[in-house]
Structure 1
Amino acid sequence: MELGPYILLASLEGAVTAAVLALTAVGLSLVFGVMRVVNIAHGEFFMLGAVIAWYVAHSMGGHPALGFVAALVVAPLFVGAIAAAADMTILKRLDYDPERTIVATIGLLYIIQQLTLMTYGPEARPVEAPFNQRIALPWFEWGEEGFEFYFPWGLSTTSYKLAVIGAAAVVLVGVWLMMARTRIGLLMRATQADRDMALAFGIPVERVYALVFGIGAALAALAAVLIVPIQQAHYLMGADPLLLSFIVVIIGGLGSLPGTVVAAIFIGLSDGIISVFFSPTLAKILATLLVGLVLVFRPQGLFGTRTA
C-alpha cells in the first residue's frame, strides 16, 4: 500500500483524538475563561467519567447500547455535580485566589485518584461499544484508464470512531450556542468580562462559577465516556488528557473557545499522524516544543487577546 492511504488512516485516528481532546480542552478553557481558575484536577474528572461509565455499563446488562446510553447521561451529570460541590465547598472558601486554587485542585486530584483506586481497583477495564462495524475506506489514484478508486487491504475504520467524531462536533456546537444564544451564556460572558460589575447588576456570580466548574468537568467526563470503548477505564488515565488539554489551551489562547477547538484539531491530527509513523513520545515532545514557541513569540496564544 502506498503512503497516501497510511496518511488517511492516521488522520482518521488523529481525528478521533482531536474530537475527544476538543471536548476535554473546551471544558478546561471554559473554567479558566470565566473563573480565571487553573483546574489541575480536570484530568481526574475525565478519569472519573470513564470509571463511572464502566460501572453504569457493567450494572445495566443487556445490549451494550443500553448501558452506553445510560453512561452518556449519568457520568457527565454525576461528575458535574461533584465538581460543582467541590467549587462551593473548596474554591469558594479560597475566594478563587489563583495560587491557592492551584494547590487546592492538586489536592482534589489526589483525593479523586486515591478514592478511585480504593473502590475501582488498579485494573484497566473495557466498555463495550454500542456498535462497532468495520468500514472499508476507498483510495483514489490516477491509473492507466484514468481516475479510479479501489479498496486497499487493511484501510478501514469503525462506525463507532466516526460516531465519536460526529458526537463531539454536535456537543461543541451546542456549547457555542449555549454561550452565544442563551441567558446562562450571557451571564457567563458578563461574569467573565467584569466580575464586580456583574455583582453590581445582581448576577449571582458564585452560582455562575459553580455551574461553569460543573459544566467544564461534565464535558471532560463526556469525552471520557466517548473514548472508553476505544481505550480502557483506568484510575491513572487522567494524566495525558490533562497535559494535552493544557497544551491545547495555551496554544489556542487561554479562555478562547474557538482557539481551543482549532488547536485541539491541530494537536489531535498531528498526534495521530506522528504516532503512527514515528512514536507517541515524539508527538508529545513536538507538542511541548510548540507550546514553548507560542509562549515565547505569542504569550496570549494564537487566538487569545493581549491584556494590558
Structure 2
Amino acid sequence: MELGPYILLATLEGMITASVLALTAVGLSLVFGVMRVVNIAHGEFFMLGAVIAWCVAQMLGGHPAVGFAAALVIAPLLVGSLAIAADMTILKRLDYDPERTIVATIGLLYIIQQLTLMSFGPEARPVQPPFNTRIALPWFEMGADGFKLIWPWGLGTTTYKLFVIVAAAALLLAVRLMMTRTKIGLLMRATQADREMALAFGIPVERIYALVFGIGAGLAAMAAVLIVPIQQAHYLMGADPLLLSFIVVIIGGLGSLPGTVVAAILIGLSDGIISVFFSPTLAKILATLLVGLVLVFRPQGLFGIRSV
C-alpha cells in the first residue's frame, strides 16, 4: 500500500481522537470559563462515564444497541448529578477559591478513583458497540489513463467509528446553540463576563455554577460513552483525557469554546498521525512542547483574549 492510504487511515483515527477530546475539553473549558475553577477531577468524570456505560450494558443485556442508547442518557445524567452534588457540598463551601478548589478536586479525583477500584475492580472491561460494520474505503491512483478509483486491501474503517465523529460534532453544535440561543446560555455568559454584575441583576450565580459544573462533567461522561466501545473501561483511564484536555484548553485559550474545538482537532489529528507513523509517546511530547511554545509566545492561547 502507498503512503497516501496510510495517511488517510491515520487521519481517520486522529479525527476520532479529536472528536472525543473536543467533547471532553469543551466541558473543562466551560467550567473554567464560567466558574474560574480548574477541575482536576475532570478525567475521573470521564472514567465514570465509561464505567457506568459498561454497567448499564451488563444490566440491560440483549442487543448492544439497547444498552448503548441507555448509557448515552444515564451516564451523563448520573455523572452530571454527582458533579452538581460535589459543587454544592465542596466547591461552594470553599467560595470557589482558585487554590483551594484545585486541592479539593484533587481529593475528589482520588476518592472517585478508589471507590471505582473497590466496586468495579482493576480489570479493563470492553463494551460491545451497537453496530460495527466494516466499510472499505476507496483510493485514487494515477495510471496511464489518468486517475482511477481503486480499493486497496486493508483500507477501511467501521460504521461505529464514523458515528463517533458525527455524534461528537452534533453534540458540540448543541453546546454552541445552548450557549448562544438559550436563556440559560445567556445567564452563563453573563456570569462569565462579570460575576458581581450578574449578582446585582438577580442572577442565581451559585445555581449557574452548579449547573455548569454538572454540564462539564456530563460532556466528559458522554465522550467516554462514545469511546468505550473502541477502548475499554478501566478505573485509571481518566489520566490521558485530563492531560490532553488541559493541553487543548491552554492552546485554544482558557474559556474559549471555539478555540478549544480548533485545538482539539489540531492535537487529535497530530496525535493520530504521529502515533501511527512513530509512537504515541512522541505525540504526547510534541503536544507538551506546543503548550510550552504557546505559553511563551501567546500566553492567552490561540483564541484567548489578553488580559489588560
- Name the structure 2 match of 1:244: 244
1:142-177 deviations in Å (ceiling 9; x for gaps): 211111110100001000000000000000000000
Distance 1:45 1:35 in 2: 17
Q: What are structure 1's unaligned runs of at least 5 residues? A: none
The runs of 4+ residues in structure 1 deviating greater than 4 Å are: none
**Percent pairwise identity:** 85
Distance 2:146 2:295 in 1: 49
Structure 1 vs Structure 2 CA RMSD: 0.3
Instruction: Quote the offset at 1:27 in angstroms.
Output: 0.1
Distance 1:101 1:17 in 2: 29
- Name the structure 2 match of 1:166: 166
- Name the structure 1 match of 2:200: 200
For the pair 1:50 / 2:18, whether they are aligned, the reply is no
- Name the structure 1 match of 2:226: 226
- Name the structure 2 match of 1:122: 122
Give the letter for the 1:300 counterpart: Q
Matches within 5 A, 1:25-174: 25-174=25-174
Name the SS of the counterpart of 1:141 in structure 2: strand
Distance 1:146 1:287 in 2: 40
Give the letter for the 1:94 counterpart: L
Give the letter for the 2:294 counterpart: V
Distance 1:7 1:255 in 2: 32
Name the SS of the counterpart of 1:19 in structure 2: helix
Instruction: Quote the offset at 1:185 in angstroms.
Output: 0.1
Instruction: Quote the offset at 1:141 in angstroms.
Output: 1.9
- The alignment's TM-score, normalised by the length of structure 2, stands at 1.00
- Name the structure 2 match of 1:267: 267
Give the letter for the 2:80 counterpart: G
Name the SS of the counterpart of 1:236 in structure 2: coil
Distance 2:269 2:143 in 1: 29
1:7-65 deviations in Å (ceiling 9; x for gaps): 00000000000000000000000000000000000000000000000000111011000
Say how many residue pairs are matched: 308
Name the SS of the counterpart of 2:62 in structure 1: coil
Give the letter for the 2:38 counterpart: V
- Name the structure 1 match of 2:296: 296
For the pair 1:175 / 2:175, whether they are aligned, the reply is yes
Name the SS of the counterpart of 1:306 in structure 2: coil
Distance 2:43 2:165 in 1: 20
